[in-house]
Structure 1
Amino acid sequence: MAPGWLDIHGHFFLPRTAVEDAEFVKASHAAHFMISEAPQFRPDEMLAYNDAAGISMQMLSYIPLTTRKLQQANDFGLSIVQKYPSRFGLLAALPTDEPGEALKEIERMRTQLLQPDGFAVTTMRGGIGLGHESLRSVWAELNKRGEVIFVHPNAYLRGQDGRPSPLIDVAFDTARTITDMIYNRVFLDFPEIKWVFSHCAGAFPALSGRVLLLGTESWVPNHKGITTDDIKKQISSIYVDTAASAETGMEPAVRMVGIEHVVYGADCGVPCSTERTMEENKAAVRMIAKKDGDSEQVGMNGFRLFPRVRIRAQS
């Protein structure tokens, strides 16, 4: 029997003390994110929602600020998968501000008895973006292994104009990151990596035509000499998820990369998502996918990225 959908975009958190919860809420309010309580990872609640939503498998990720916490999160994430192997997968976090530590974490994760299903990175960490030259050794290792890399916007980005960054700032953060990666040939030089950008790649699909039109003009710095064809090839290689963006973001993304490169993401497990917002977004995914002939396609596309996960989901 075929499984239900794969959701590539689920979140978890490490257990926290009451003091840490209070600090989390205080920091969120300082960043204009007006939550009433700190989020907790409650697998039973997430599974209950997934059952109702027709989600058979959910990929989890969490990228803490420090390398030590990041390693703890990866270990905790693997323990979740061990307990629920047919329902959860793990995209292990990498500390991209410390390339040497990132290489060590890849090796550590890939020598575990139970291994993650892929890796997760954030657009900017410690002032280092994903197009930075220092990360080429990390991408080379992941390219050699043919890994899937899930790219999440910077969750610690401070919003502008008194509003929280998840509202619109993260969309421009993602667009800026993709553009920088294009000019640094990341997608060309490491073609065996499958990059999945969350939230329909933010604002980038709407701006991709502008990058193609103007990106190789003489007034644009282009130190690696990319051509318009190089830009087209790089753009067409990426994948996007649909989290919190399908209503107006999915159609530009489909035009940019094709329906085959769009995978379902719910953004489950964080305060900026509720059952209502996830269901409205999922309805938009179905409606737009149906225009291409199959309302279920986007929900199943993720299994092509993670074939072993499909086997687990059917067990």
Structure 2
Amino acid sequence: MKYSKIDLHAHYLSPGYKRFLKDQFNDMGDGVKTPAYDIDTTLQIMDQVNIDYSVISISSPHINTGEKSSTIELADEVNEYGATQHAKYADKIGFFASLPIPYVAESITTIDHALDQQNATGFTLPTNSRGTYLGDPKLDPIMQQLNKRHALVALHPNAPGTFDATVMDKIPAPIVEFFFDTTRAVINMLQHGIFARYPDIKFIIPHAGAVLPIIASRVPLAKQLNPNLTNDQIDIKSVLSNQYFDVAGSVLPQQLPALLQLIDSDKLVFASDTPYTPTPAVLSLANQLEDTNMLSDAFKQKMFKTNAQKLLNL
């Protein structure tokens, strides 16, 4: 492939996480078959896609087991696995640590341990953790600590907290529901002032912003229906212009042009979404981005590598 890349949305599966998916989801977390994985999976894909550096993270349904002690244990296990890979392949692999949300004190402890002892690149937060959505005031102390540490935080969608299994029961959640849940979480964060109150967190919003670029012009209209809303609670366009976005999935020809009406080219980063996105699809999607005439060569250089280099101080 022509462009060298840095990948900020790639996944790993630790042994403990594999057991969790098998025990609780029969290897079908959020309706998706658990892929085979070891670290060589990541390294081989990196070679094929011309990826110089990958920041790996846990995917949906994330690590909340439904019980406190086992959630904390699983967070420790997945983070130790990620830290081990980073230590072994320091010039190729970073990792986003997982937090045992919704457990606040334990999440704060994990933030400091991951940054100070495990050299985590940042953190991955699920849009909701068994129905507790980002933006929920009870998670504010976690946001305060992430803000204090000037953390890089990659959001990742989950299936919705409330899900009617009779609706869209044939289409797996990642195809459509993940887009809605990313949008739902970001709007919830907006109305609870997360972006305004914690400006030192750098957020990466996945999948080219999901549905957010489409509804950005609608959100300010909410004040006509609810005059109690403040301007900050509806200023989605300012929020989006200050966040980062990855290009995981099929972002051409519709999504990326819509997003680029709201952000500048310095805010885009490459994403493969491996191994949940099969390697042939990763190659095809990367080729689409490399070959499109919609983007200039200078733009592509930024999106594929330069923006992430600056973000990660590589």
Q: Which of the five TM-score ranges fits, normalised by the shorter chain? A: 0.7 to 0.9
Q: 1:83 to 1:245 in 2, by over 3 A?
A: same
Structure-1 residue corresponding to 2:78: 73
288, 296, 312: which one aligns with 1:306: 312
Please give the residue correspondences for 1:227-246 in structure 2 after superposition, counting only pairs within 5 Å.
227=232, 230-246=235-251
Counterpart residue type for residue 240 of structure 2 = I
Structure-2 residue corresponding to 1:128: 132
Q: Which residues of structure 2 form unaligned runs of 5+?
A: 65-70
Q: 1:99 to 1:245 in 2, by over 3 A?
A: farther
Distance 2:150 2:284 in 1: 34
Deviation at 1:266, TM superposition (A): 0.7
Deviation at 1:118, TM superposition (A): 0.7
Please give the residue correspondences for 1:76-225 in structure 2 after superposition, counting only pairs within 5 Å.
76-112=81-117, 114-154=118-158, 160-162=167-169, 163-212=171-220, 214-217=221-224, 219-220=225-226, 222=228, 225=230
Distance 1:21 1:182 in 2: 32
Q: Could you tell me the TM-score, scaled by structure 1's length?
A: 0.85
Structure-2 residue corresponding to 1:259: 265
Query: Aligned-pair RMSD on alpha carbons?
Result: 2.6
Deviation at 1:198, TM superposition (A): 1.1
Question: Are the aligned partners of 1:95 and 1:121 in contact in 2 as well (CA < 8 Å)?
Answer: no
Give deviations 1:162-210, integer Å, cap 9, x for gaps: 2210111100000111111111111111111100011112111111121
Question: Are the aligned partners of 1:246 and 1:284 in contact in 2 as well (CA < 8 Å)?
Answer: no
282, 288, 293: which one aligns with 2:286: 282
Q: Which residues of structure 1 form unaligned runs of 5+?
A: 311-315
Please give the residue correspondences for 1:13-52 in structure 2 after superposition, counting only pairs within 5 Å.
13-15=13-15, 23=23, 26=26, 28=28, 32-33=31-32, 35=33, 38-52=34-48
SS across alignment from 2:15: coil
Structure-2 residue corresponding to 1:4: 4
Alignment size in residue pairs: 296
Question: Are the aligned partners of 2:7 and 2:53 in contact in 1 as well (CA < 8 Å)?
Answer: yes
Question: Are the aligned partners of 2:196 and 2:232 in contact in 1 as well (CA < 8 Å)?
Answer: no
Give deviations 1:191-237, integer Å, cap 9, x for gaps: 1110001111211111112113x1322x13755x2358843322211
Deviation at 1:26, TM superposition (A): 3.0
Counterpart residue type for residue 7 of structure 2 = D
Distance 2:309 2:17 in 1: 36
Counterpart residue type for residue 243 of structure 2 = I
Distance 1:200 1:67 in 2: 31
Deviation at 1:89, TM superposition (A): 0.3
Question: Are the aligned partners of 1:250 and 1:285 in contact in 2 as well (CA < 8 Å)?
Answer: no
